[in-house]
Chains A and B, each alone.
Chain A
């Protein structure tokens, strides 16, 4: 088995030829990868922001966190359209900040996506058990089935994986639109009762501290959109497809988040909305329509499956990249000779996902994922400033240049700081434990593992020497 290379290769490999990932994806696949990972956030998870701060707090953070992710999408589009390599932000960190940062960023990605995959599988299992209502039926079999089947799908090939994602993501998104128009959103009081459910007394039950706390789960509305960059080596035209697919995905999600909040807050008391694992499904139940209930049941299952599918895809590529650069043993950098997928990375992460699906609850798995995502966004805000300083506009060819620099970076960093505080309110020990983990593995990498890494070979972009070096 050989290391991967970046080429546009045929699907069969001659003896002795280097095996590479295939460039077969277009903008629709990029959209499907990004929205597919994230859309489950509308079906579950965002509503824990209601639990932490009330319905109005969830709406406020939906907008503010939407700003954070718009910044993420803008920044990511510029850097990724310029650094088009598997691993996404990992490859960015390697070329712009340095190897240790890259090692950490890859781990953020692997944890954020693996724990998101775990959350998705738990959601599928819990929903099926709830709807079945059978005594003694447990979620574990459905959780295992979801994870294993999707890992197999990813093993078999990226094009089939993302074609499946495109279809099921579209169905799950259309389900939200059908629910939205079925409850006559233009006519409050007919089906929707926003004014009765959100009163001056319960709009912000914990006051403004609750709004701050709600930032924690507000991230779940959009977490994972940056995963579009993981497909950089498998996209036919990265400079065009990645910005286009990512920005289209972000617009899709902003519209979906607004519709989701409006319908759910108008159909469910805030205490229940903050408690349930299936807010859109329960909103459909509250309408009394059997059709909507069935539709949103399948919407929830498909959104979770699409998300887990994309997460396996992204986590495996980040892990694969670590092996390819010798940050981890090169064994992980193998590409399947027939399916052209990073199959060893896919298989290695499978038992880890299964183990956490058994030992963690939904909100704990979500928090693990959010914490890794948050550390990654902090990196991105600093990364773009270093990128512009080391290679100013005009010094290298950029596929896309985002406007208003450095405002998006400053907005992103500011919202990250607020979200750290929000996580601290209720989940501080997990944040500290996770950061200590990253400190320990960083020390291990810097003082031990890095001696196995080639130096100059890590820098693969055809750029001039960075300013200041």
Chain B
């Protein structure tokens, strides 16, 4: 296989390439935060006039809460902020398709590029 000579990239295009990557980073990481999509599926199960008993805390637990400076009112939002593990199968399938599809594309496209690398590096050599 003849040696591949890559074209020289103009400086302005190099800057554009860097800008593309930076924008992509911020869109991927910042947009979910901005749209409120990032974060946990938690909710506070509210108890009116909470006491240590109603919050399910035994005397040992109460001792540690008080050492850390909490009373039942201030501890309420920590103790009652719980996960609600529900999910729908469609979302799960979307995630599976996206992740598996990504890896399939990744390995196939990589293999195509890798064969060119090996052909140029080794030619017909063993």
Contact = CB atoms under 8 A, between A and B. Distances in A.
Interface stretch (A142-150, A156-164, A450-458): A450-458
A206 B120 contact: no
Interface residues of A, number: 84
Interface in B95-126: 95, 98-99, 101-103, 105-107, 109-122, 125-126
Interface in A87-135: 93, 97-102, 104, 111, 115
A213 B118 contact: no
- Majority secondary structure, A binding face: helix
Interface stretch (A8-16, A305-313, A324-332): A324-332
A424 B87 contact: yes
A271 B78 CA distance: 7
Q: Which 8 A-B pairs have the closest CB atoms?
A: A98-B110, A437-B28, A456-B120, A98-B114, A196-B60, A329-B14, A456-B121, A429-B37
A99 B117 contact: yes
B7 A452 contact: yes
Interface residues of B, number: 75
A199 to B, nearest CB: 7
B91 interface: yes
Contact of A424 (B68, B82, B95): B95
A457 to B, nearest CB: 8
Nearest to A114: B25
Contacts of A434: 28-29
A288 B99 contact: no
B38 A202 contact: no
Given A286-B67, A439-B102, A442-B106, A452 B37 contact: no
A291 B44 CA distance: 36
User: Which of B37, B85, B125 has the most CB atoms of chain A within a 10 A radius of its CB?
Assistant: B85
Interface string A175-210: 000000000000000000100110101100110011
B117 A435 contact: no
Interface string B23-42: 01111111111000111111
Given A99-B117, A435-B102, A196 B85 contact: no
Contact of B79 (A101, A271, A359): A271
Contact of B29 (A356, A431, A442): A356
Interface of A: 51-52, 93, 97-102, 104, 111, 115, 193, 196-197, 199, 201-202, 205-206, 209-210, 213, 267-269, 271-272, 275, 282, 285-286, 288, 326, 328-329, 331, 352, 355-356, 359-360, 363-364, 367-368, 378, 382, 420, 424-442, 444, 446, 449-456, 458-459, 464-466, 469
A446 B109 CA distance: 7
Contact of A430 (B15, B37, B115): B37
A268 B64 CA distance: 6
A433 B32 CA distance: 7
A272 B126 CA distance: 62
Contacts of B42: 426
Given A196-B60, A329-B17, A441-B21, A455 B99 contact: no
A455 B4 contact: yes
Contacts of A360: 29, 33
B83 A427 contact: no
B20 A444 contact: yes
Nearest to A348: B18
Contact of B64 (A272, A382, A456): A272
8 contacts: A197-B61, A269-B79, A329-B9, A428-B91, A430-B37, A438-B102, A456-B4, A465-B118
B62 to A, nearest CB: 9
A27 B96 CA distance: 40
A448 to B, nearest CB: 9
A441 B31 CA distance: 16
A285 B85 contact: no
B87 to A, nearest CB: 7
Given A193-B64, A426-B41, A459-B121, 11 more contacts: A99-B113, A101-B106, A115-B29, A359-B33, A364-B38, A425-B87, A439-B105, A453-B6, A455-B116, A455-B119, A469-B115
Interface in B33-88: 33, 37-42, 56-61, 64-65, 67-68, 70, 75, 78-79, 81-83, 85, 87
Contact of A269 (B9, B37, B61): B61
Contacts of B9: 329, 452
B119 to A, nearest CB: 8
Given A100-B110, A206-B83, A449 B60 contact: no
A455 to B, nearest CB: 4
Nearest to B34: A359
A102 B114 CA distance: 11
Contacts of A426: 40-42, 83, 85
